[in-house]
Amino acid sequence: MNHDLIIRKATEKDIPDIYGLVCELAAYEKASDQVKIDVHQYVKDFRSGLFQAFVSELDGQVIGTTIYYYTYSTWRGKMVYLEDFIIAQPHRNKGYGTALFHHFIDYCKSVDANIVRWQVLDWNEPAIRFYKKHPVQFDPEWLTVKWIL
């Protein structure tokens, strides 16, 4: 892995790069048409504290992000929800994702979160293989439910 990788808290100036990574992920998932907000809404939501993020930066370019927010588990207490974890396609399988993921998990531990939760599409085998390298639990008992307003 390149030791010039910098992982840091995102700032407002990173939002266009983060939005670009989200759009790249949507394209990978063949769901570009489902991205219904624009970068201006991302900036507004970031400013208001709806979400936070870390970015991975290589040679001054943002190549990855974890987008997260705090929530609550009635059984476990403080929880962090990982909304998206993205490494730009040209930088995958080089250790950058592992570095970012571990940084994010360490952060969650440092803020005394009791659980970190996220979702992965059942067909996304590369992501599933990545997660299986870590002490995570896949939960087949729970179904994702959503009501799109």
Please give the Cα distance from 35 to 2 (Å, whole number).
32
Please give the Cα distance from 92 to 111 (Å, whole number).
28
DSSP 134: S
Specify the amino acid at residue 137.
Q
Catalytic residue among 28, 69, 70, 131: 131
Helix (H, G, I), strand (E, B) or coil at 80: strand
Contact 53, 62 (CB under 8 A): no
DSSP 50: S
Instruction: Kindly give, in sequence order, each residue whose CB lies less than 8 Å from that of residue 93, ignoring residues fewer than 6 positions away.
Output: none
Determine whether 69 is an active site residue.
Answer: no
Q: What is the maximal distance between C-alpha atoms in the chain?
A: 44
Helix (H, G, I), strand (E, B) or coil at 110: helix
The residues annotated as belonging to the active site are: 131
